[in-house]
Structure 1
Amino acid sequence: MRIAIADDEPEVVHHLKEIVQELGYDAVGYTDGDALMQTLACDSFDLLMLDWNMPGKDGLEILKWMQETLPERPPVLMITNRSAKKDVTEALYAGAADYISKPEDRVVIAGRISAMLRRGAIGSTFDTEATYGIYRLNRIEQTVFVNGQIIALTAKEFELADFFFRNVNRTLSRNNLMKAIWRTTANLATRTLDMHISRVRSKLNLQPENGFRILTVFGYGYRLETATKVRSF
């Protein structure tokens, strides 16, 4: 996989390239927004790691240009020193798939890169709302509505529910879930993961009569399936 990295500071580009290469991916660095745009117009990448403040076109301008111009767009992970909620929201609405505020530990950055590539973000954009049968998710407000009624979830419960719906009918390993939701490669207590999944299942009433069901794949992980595809493992 090829990942483009754009930041106005060469040392940051070098640092991020090291992280990407340690994950086994190819990295191409840019320190100028205009140069990045010229490349994106004729070349493809599996992921773009994008700073906000750059000479030439800035990160937000590049996001908007990608949405309006490119027939196929790589998912974008914003990595910037802007941490205000309004900036995060603006970047997500403009098309970013995820957002990291500097500085951040390299292990966390590596985990977020891997999670984005695993969860099928490639070639997709950030949808602020998504509907799955009777379930409607608002990813900006991190709220879930079931038949129009709002259901209170914690931040981790929402991330877990969103990740399951993004990967409906796909079996997810415990490690996959741990890295995507808890952004760590360390061992997560089994009871922590199981407890969160149990709460999501219960709060959202994920049962066949509502169109979806979370199945336990013994010895491996979990799977959210549509009711018509429910089966035993």
Structure 2
Amino acid sequence: MNIASLEDESVQARLIQQILSEAGHQCTIYSAGREMLAALSRGNDYDLLLLDWEVPDLSGLDVLRWVRANLGHALPVMMLTSRTLEEELVTGLQAGADDYMIKPIRKGELVARVHALLRRNKPVPAVEAPFACGAYEIDPAAEAIRLGGHKVELAPKEYELALLLFRNPGRLFSRDVLSNSVWNREIPATSRTLDTHLSNIRRKLQLRPEHGVRLNSSYALGYRLELVDADSTPASEQ
């Protein structure tokens, strides 16, 4: 895949490029926001953008806003930032970021998040083969999710929500993205519909570390199904 990274710090830029190259991707580095915008304006075609928040002349956040205003929402964008305040991360997500990663950069996490975002743009096959996620067996053709060989009974929207999460482990979903993907509309923040469905699938599917997954949630940031090593999970977390 062809990835563009906005990063002005040379050591970090080389690290990102090396990690992505080793993962089989082509990575073009831009050291300034206006340089990246010029390339995008010329029609340079990328499958994913990685944007450092703080770069010379035009911030990654400004680049993100330009991308969403001019190129739409089809192009996946992940923010790489040293900022950890929740309100700042919310600002990035509200501006249109699909995900974020807090520095320092960790190779395994970067590759996993990049692959999760790239999968989003791949069309789902007409007949999708069964796949596994943690201890779960997911069979999209049969609309079935099994745990320990037994089918878990889910309501239709619960199944759609669970399927979306299982297809994208590690990806952060905002409330708006989840509601639009499953209900084809935005669900008001005052509604408990999404929260109720998430609570139901967490309970019915037993989304716990001993089954290889953890559903992390933040009302402000969103929701992420994470793969975990059940064998290395402390007993207090199980």
1:5 alignment partner in structure 2: 5
| 1:8/1:54 contact within 8 Å kept | yes
2:102 alignment partner in structure 1: 101
2:22 alignment partner in structure 1: 22
| 2:214/2:227 contact within 8 Å kept | no
Cα distance in 2 between the residues matched to 1:189 and 1:135: 36
| 1:164-208 residue CA offsets vs partner (Å, 9 max, x unmatched) | xxxxxxxxxxxxxxxx84367xxx449x9xxxxxxxxxxxxxxxx
Cα distance in 2 between the residues matched to 1:121 and 1:91: 24
Query: 1:216-231, aligned counterparts within 5 Å?
Result: none
Q: Does 1:49 align with 2:46?
A: no
Q: Does 1:145 align with 2:210?
A: no
The answer for unaligned runs of 5 or more in structure 1 is 160-179, 193-233
**RMSD, aligned α-carbons:** 3.5
Query: 1:1-233, aligned counterparts within 5 Å?
Result: 1-41=1-41, 42-70=43-71, 73-120=74-121, 128-129=175-176, 130-131=179-180, 132-133=182-183, 145=193, 152=199, 156-157=214-215, 181-182=225-226, 188-189=229-230
The count of corresponding residues between Structure 1 and Structure 2 is 161
Cα distance 1:134–1:98, how it changes in 2: closer, same or farther (>3 A)? closer
The answer for unaligned runs of 5 or more in structure 2 is 124-172, 208-212, 218-223, 234-238
Cα distance in 1 between the residues matched to 2:74 and 2:9: 24
Alignment TM-score, normalising by the size of structure 2: 0.57
Alignment TM-score, normalising by the size of structure 1: 0.58
Cα distance 1:51–1:183, how it changes in 2: closer, same or farther (>3 A)? farther
Residue identity over aligned pairs, in percent, reads 27
| 1:93/1:128 contact within 8 Å kept | no
| 1:44/1:74 contact within 8 Å kept | no
Cα distance in 2 between the residues matched to 1:73 and 1:92: 15
| 1:7/1:54 contact within 8 Å kept | yes
Secondary structure at the aligned position of 2:78 is classed as: strand
Secondary structure at the aligned position of 1:182 is classed as: strand
Secondary structure at the aligned position of 1:64 is classed as: helix
